[in-house]
Amino acid sequence: MIVVTGAAGFIGANLVLGLNARGITDIIAVDDLSDGTKFRNLAEAEIADYLDKDEFLARVAGGALPKVDAIFHQGACSATTEWNGKFMMDVNYRYSQTLLEYCQNQHAPFIYASSASVYGMGKAGFRESRECERPLNVYAYSKFLFDQTVRRAGLDQAKSRGSGQVVGLRYFNVYGPREQHKGGMASTAFHFNNQIEQDGECKLFAGSDGYGDGEQRRDFIHVDDVVAMNLWFYDHAEKSGIYNCGTGRAQPFNDIAKAVIAWHGKGTAKYVPFPANLVGRYQSFTEADHAKLRAIGYDRAFLSVEDGVKRYLDWLHQA
């Protein structure tokens, strides 16, 4: 039995389907379906059971959960604009601690979603090391603090199968199928597609932080690559640690716009003033450092923005 938290969300739903593609259907899907529209993300999936996130946590705490083979912990409040620190720490930090303790007691692999937001402005680089970590908001802090919990317990070191694998994946800018419920927090590719369909213009930020119009750069990673990395670690239970989950290649927002415009065969880019409230709080450059990941043997190639956006828009517009 495998547990996927956040299973009706963006990455969680794609991970469930990735497990299904391997013939794995003994899956407990955990989420909060207060937004009932998210059920669509699981409509194609095969699962054994669904549990609300609060009921699941109660079962874990009460020892009423069947023995599980692994937990993929994708559930979280991912809104970087959320400033209710108590809520964020309860949902992102304490919840994760409880599941980590459970997995260690059960000697079950625990693969969880961290975030590249822990690097802040990235002025010290994007290596998985303490000196590079400078979170700018409470969401990033909640992810950083849990990573620190893993480190303090020495759980980021290599493990053998059955002895409690722990892997934290620092997601960079993920895009792809099944993110529509995220609204304003959905990817740039999703929003650019909608903008081209509605008024024929991709709206990008004008120049900032020394970058030209639309030239701010992020490490954009397709969700298929994220799923592949999760499953690779599941296959390699002797590997533990905290790793970057990005392509290792920063590309400008202009490249996303060009890919969307090329797919539609129409449209233009429009540059809007950089928002004053984002000055000093915006990652104008991110790029995953792959040295640690490649050193443990992960050699899979990543989709470029051009190929990834095409794959995504093909999916969005399928009949």
Query: Count of CB atoms within 10 A of residue 127's CB?
Result: 15
Say how far apart CA 158 and CA 68 lie, in whole Å. 21
Contact 243, 171 (CB under 8 A): no
Q: Calculate the alpha carbon distances from 46 to 10, 13, 35, 216, 225 in Å.
A: 16, 11, 21, 40, 21
| Phi, then psi, of 229 in degrees rounded to 5 | -70, -40
Residue 81, SS3 per DSSP: coil
Say how far apart CA 50 and CA 5 lie, in whole Å. 10
Say what the alpha-carbon torsion angle 77, 112, 280, 292 is, to the nearest 10 degrees.
-170
Say what the alpha-carbon torsion angle 245, 39, 88, 142 is, to the nearest 10 degrees.
-10
Say how far apart CA 216 and CA 252 lie, in whole Å. 5
Q: Examine the residue annotation and report whether 139 is marked as an active-site residue of this protein.
A: yes
Which H/E stretch holds residue 207? none
Say how far apart CA 141 and CA 249 lie, in whole Å. 25
Of 139, 141, 175, 312, the active-site residue reads: 139
Longest dimension (CA), the chain: 57
Q: Examine the residue annotation and report whether 182 is marked as an active-site residue of this protein.
A: yes
Of 50, 53, 93, 182, the active-site residue reads: 182
Beta bridge partners of 112: 73, 168
**Rounded-to-5 percentages of helix, strand, coil across the chain:** 40, 20, 40
Catalytic residues: 139, 182
